[in-house]
A and B are shown apart, each in its own frame.
Chain A
Amino acid sequence: MFDPIKRLSYTIRLKSEQFLRQLSLQSMILPGLTLMAIFEYWPLYGLIIAFEDYSIIHETFFEAPFVGFAHFKEFFTDPNALRVIRNSLGINLIGLLVAFPITIIFALLLNEVTVRKYKRFVQTVSYLPHFVSWVIFIGIVELMLSVDNGVLNEVLMNLGLIKEPIFFMGRADYFWPLAAFTRLAKEMGWGAIIYLAAMAGIDPQLYEAAIVDGASRLQRMWHITLPGISQTIIILFILRAAQSIRWGFQQIYMMQNPVNISMSETIETYVFKTGLQNLRFSYATAVGLFQSVVSVVLLIIADQLSKRLAGKGIF
């Protein structure tokens, strides 16, 4: 007769015998596993302080008084906090609606360059900024945009397009597009790689047949190349949309100044400041937890959508 307990104990015995026979293989897993446990899973248990009034005086995460959802309530009723969510979403929206399509257009156009050496040269240059640090990239962007003799202002003034130099970094209302475009300028070439790879996988016979039928360059791009990468586009779009609540800390923090702060404070920088500069550990943990939970929910929705639209999940 089938006996689940007997069977389970048999499996366990078998597995542990196997485990003992491959100790040296298991020891290769150990360093990574330990690091993961300490730096990723141990902090999970610290999330409990989001529901407490934790402060520096407490030795363990469980000593502090329990306050339930008080910090979450405070976050959602504070106008400052809502502004932080709005900024995170706003920058992402511009990124998604403008920067995302531009990367695709760049890949499409680069793919049409027929001289291979030129194509490779453009591509090599285009992903160079990806490897430059945010600190230096923003530093250089700020030099270009500077009010006192920044190159952009000088050129615009010499062309007679503006009379007074524009203080690009000092205008709060410029911040969202500026953040989105700075990232586009840095990551466009790198982001195009995946589309170019998808284009390389399109059957050349399709193009040959189209040429025989007299299709023009643009027609071929529109009717063959674009549909050929549509699955990649859908998956990447959904993935990007799922990250709508985050935007890299390193870039935003670099670009912030007292003038633009009302439009430039995102959830990440807000958590950093309330938590580690104002030492409101519990409150900042609650805000961070909110962000992580939203991210996971968005990702699950994205996976379902992707299954439906592109025929396969993202995981």
Chain B
Amino acid sequence: MAEYRTKTDWAFEIFNYILMAAIVFFTLFPFWNAFVGSFNKGIDFARGGVYFWPREFTLSNYIAVFQNSRILSAYRVTVLRTVIGTILSVLVCALFAYAFSRKDLVGKNLYGVMGLGIMFFYSGLIPTYMIIKRLGLINNFLVYLFPHMFNFFYVLMMQAYFKENIPTSLIESAKMNGAGEYRIFFSLVLPLSKPIIAVMLLFQGVWHWNYYKDALIYTTKPELETLQLLLMKVIRTAQQSSVMAQAAATAGTTSTSVQMATMMVATLPILALYPFLQRYFVKGIMVGAVKG
């Protein structure tokens, strides 16, 4: 509908558009600057003044990254934990959520109370560490997969989706036709729930890719080091790390420029997928927000 705009309205409008543009700029600029820096000769970057475009273009930072065996090993560990961990986690949560969404499930209240209990009371870092140690999961790749595999928040989101989108009558008729629960789950429920499954895969995938606390606490072996843990050590030790110094031995690079290249390599999978995935993220959080 047509609306009358006062001068203040126009002033506000202009101010608002500029402010939003500024927010976009300040959000993107730091990433862009690190991206540019990763393509700039390290020694030249250290002189300052490189903002929007490389001054002395080079690929040597990336060559240094891809020649560093420790970075490559960390990349492999991270990819493995993300792929395996995400799939297993979503499978376990989806199975639980499907059963939990069924009215006739015996013990439903008990399971619900148990799930909510873990959401509201955290037993603490040390007791959890003790259990993990007793299970022999210290310095074991499996520690990346199991402790966080079950997430009751995801269960709640998925079961809300199942309840809303899969009519009970459909499940009933599948049963009448002799389909077992697993058959119903895999060939009826999952195909009908692609959006929510996609959201869960994405949430869990991003989480696995980004998390470093478990690697920090439960591992000391270099071959189990994840990308984020490696980067954490490098950045926290004020860019003095031997890794980067060693990697920076390539002509013209510095530890900072190699660090920027490593950060780019570590963010790339997320940034590359982001434009395609972001609509699912929003859908996902809406499901959570409405039901939560």
Contact = CB atoms under 8 A, between A and B. Distances in A.
A139 B131 contact: no
Interface string A119-148: 001101111110111111011111110001
Contacts of B135: 38
B289 A31 contact: no
Given A29-B99, A143-B30, A275-B129, A122 B20 contact: yes
B131 A28 contact: no
A109 B146 contact: no
B127 A44 contact: yes
B62 interface: no
Contacts of A214: 4
Given A28-B99, A249-B213, A113 B20 contact: yes
A288 interface: yes
A280 to B, nearest CB: 9
Contacts of B152: 36
B185 interface: yes
A299 B290 CA distance: 20
Interface string B239-253: 000000000000000
Given A26-B106, A292-B121, A276 B263 contact: no
Contacts of A47: 123-124, 127
Interface string A250-291: 100110110000000000100110011000010011001101
A149 B49 CA distance: 8
Interface in B16-54: 16-17, 19-20, 23-24, 26-28, 30-31, 33-34, 37, 46-49, 51
A72 interface: no
Contacts of A141: 30
A42 B129 CA distance: 11
Contacts of B34: 139-140, 143
Interface residues of A, number: 92
A67 to B, nearest CB: 16
B274 A131 contact: yes
A289 B135 CA distance: 22
B125 A288 contact: yes
Contact of A113 (B16, B231, B282, B286): B16
A136 B120 CA distance: 29
Contacts of B212: 133-135, 250
B181 A40 contact: no
B281 interface: yes
Contact of B27 (A112, A128, A151): A128
B48 A154 contact: yes
Contacts of B17: 113, 118
A105 to B, nearest CB: 10
A95 to B, nearest CB: 19
Interface string B262-292: 0100110010001100100110011001100
Nearest to B122: A292
Interface in B191-233: 206, 209-213, 216-217, 228, 231-232
B231 A135 contact: yes
Interface of B: 1, 3-6, 8-9, 12-13, 16-17, 19-20, 23-24, 26-28, 30-31, 33-34, 37, 46-49, 51, 92-93, 95-96, 98-100, 102, 104-107, 111, 114-118, 120-132, 135, 146-147, 149-150, 152, 155, 180-182, 185, 206, 209-213, 216-217, 228, 231-232, 235-236, 238, 256, 259-260, 263, 266-267, 270, 274-275, 278, 281-282, 285-286, 289-290
26 contacts: A18-B106, A31-B95, A32-B96, A38-B131, A39-B128, A41-B118, A110-B20, A124-B278, A131-B206, A135-B212, A135-B228, A135-B232, A135-B266, A140-B263, A142-B235, A144-B33, A148-B48, A185-B27, A194-B285, A208-B1, A218-B8, A276-B125, A276-B217, A285-B127, A288-B127, A292-B122
Given A31-B95, A256-B236, 9 more contacts: A28-B182, A47-B127, A106-B23, A125-B24, A151-B33, A217-B8, A276-B217, A284-B125, A288-B127
